[in-house]
Amino acid sequence: MHAATFKRSLLAAALIAAVGAGYATLGGEIIRPADAVAALAPAAAAPLANPGVGLPDFRSIVEHSGPAVVNISASGSSKTAFSGGGDDDPRLPELFRRFGGPMPEGRTPTQGMGSGFIVSADGLILTNAHVVSGADEVTVKLTDKREFKAKVVGLDKLTDIAVLRIAAKNLPVVSLGSPGSAQVGEWVVAIGSPFGFENSVTAGIVSAKGRSLASDSYVPFIQTDVAVNPGNSGGPLINLNGEVIGINSQIYSRNGGYQGVSFAIPIDVAMNIQEQLLKNGKVSHGRLGVTIQEVSQSLAESFGLKNTAGALISSVDKTSPAAAAGLEAGDIILKLDGTEITRSTELPPIVAAIRPGTQIKLQVWRKGSTRDIALAVGEIPTPAQATADSQEADNPRLGLALRPLNPQEQQQSGIAGGLLVENVSGPAAKAGIRRGDIVLSLNGQEVRDIEQLRGLLDKAGKTVALLIERDDAKIFVPVDIG
């Protein structure tokens, strides 16, 4: 062996020994320490977006806000209370689910779980309405393991906000921030009790703002990729300043668990609801009485608009403030009190936040020109009114409580007629009909309203065939009415 070759061999052996000293084997796989991996990394590695900047440390946020986050358990036997919290609620679209603990159906003892947070030192707590709605008893557990029976001050199902109070003083409270200042891409933290694991902390980023969901078009949701799961419902979404900017409320899921997309109610929406409940004991939401849709590029061109901004009115409720003010199908709402409407989904939450009776000015596009239209905002019917209406339409022969679809539901479902199932019992329950189904026909006769349905039942025999729509599919269901 030549001297030069021998030296190269010794050098190679030394390099192998030096590098090999940093390796270990486990189960046939080579395990490399971090510094060895860095030494072997290509010299031309891609630069970091922010060189020298590490991931944020959330410890101070958790230390400050964690003690103000509570665990909530709600118990009772009310069917209404718990059907809205589980993943099988047919009233919600297939993929958008609220995520309080899963609740069984029927009037048997039930137990739900969720989260909340303290907003005043004398025991005022915010959470989701679907966590406590209809519960006979609500228990709040603090991080110091103290437990309190909570009073439900009030709740608003339209925005899914509930206000609780416990008899305690000098409690830790969260700091409140401004959702409007949140930026897409910034870090946020969630604290809650997923699957009952108390005060769990997860982190992610704001994915989008002002999201409108098919089930909740009156809330401009904050979308995040923070991991939230059943039990996180009602817990806070916190920015890096340690300020609560939202209440975690829904997830996008095919299986009921977290799949990378979650939604929080902006805290300013929640505080507006809290203020109304404390001051008036109830919540009022503004209403125009129109059905709207997005302005596509082709629609903009056909209406003579230069861009796709605005909300296109597709129908007007004849008894609404919009009809009284002269709004028409085909009008495009461009501004509300000077605020531009860039997308149709922006309009419902803006109107819902306006106090009924308030005078507003709309700028609309009609037949090639703009015009201003003034009107007084109406009021969305309360859930109590809707429930009363549906109970009046209850038919004991079928075991169904029904009501007509409102304009928004007609737009979402694409159904002009039909009756929405509000409650199920007796023959209909045995036949497999669920709340949230839409009854389209009875024995082949199209169903248009409650009175017509009653007339069809009077002429029916012992069995009727109901055509219903569920999850965008139509099926016939035979019901034995005896």
Contact between 118 and 125 (Cβ < 8 Å): yes
Exposed, middle or buried: residue 238 (CB in 10 Å: 0-12, 13-18, 19+)? Answer: buried
Can 160 be counted among the known catalytic residues? yes
280's tokens: 């008036």
Calpha distance 240→294 (Å, rounded): 35
Cβ density class 138-162: b for 16+ within 10 Å, e for less? bbbebeeeeebebebebbbbbbbbb
Tally the C-alpha atoms within 13 A of residue 140's C-alpha that lie toward its C-beta. 29
b (16+ CB within 10 A) / e for 436-473 = bbbbbbbeeeebeebeebeebeeebeeebebbbbbeee
Identified catalytic residue from 233, 249, 262, 441: 233
Alpha helices in 242-377 (DSSP H): 267-280, 297-302, 321-325, 347-352
Is 65 one of the annotated active-site residues of the chain?
no
Tokens 């055509």 -> residue: 467
Q: Locate tokens 């910034």: which residue? A: 186
Instruction: Give the span between the Cα atoms of 160 and 100, in whole angstroms.
Output: 12
Query: Tokens 């110091």 sit at which residue?
Result: 144
What is the rounded distance in angstroms from the CA atom of residue 418 to the CA atom of residue 363?
Answer: 34
Which residue carries 């409407």 as its tokens? Answer: 341
For residue 131, with 0-12 CB atoms within 10 Å meaning exposed, 13-18 middle and 19 or more buried, which class applies?
buried
- Active-site residue (options: 156, 160, 216, 331): 160
Long-range Cβ contact pairs of 387-393 (< 8 A, separation 24 or more): 387/422, 390/422, 390/423, 393/419, 393/450
Catalytic pick from 89, 130, 193, 441? 130
Q: Does 216 qualify as catalytic in the annotation? A: no
Mention every residue, 6+ apart, whose C-beta is less than 8 A from residue 348: 212, 217, 218, 292, 408
Alpha-carbon distance 88 to 94, whole Å? Answer: 9
Specify the residue for token string 């309190």. 148
Helical ranges in 199-293 per DSSP H: 267-280
Catalytic residues: 130, 160, 233
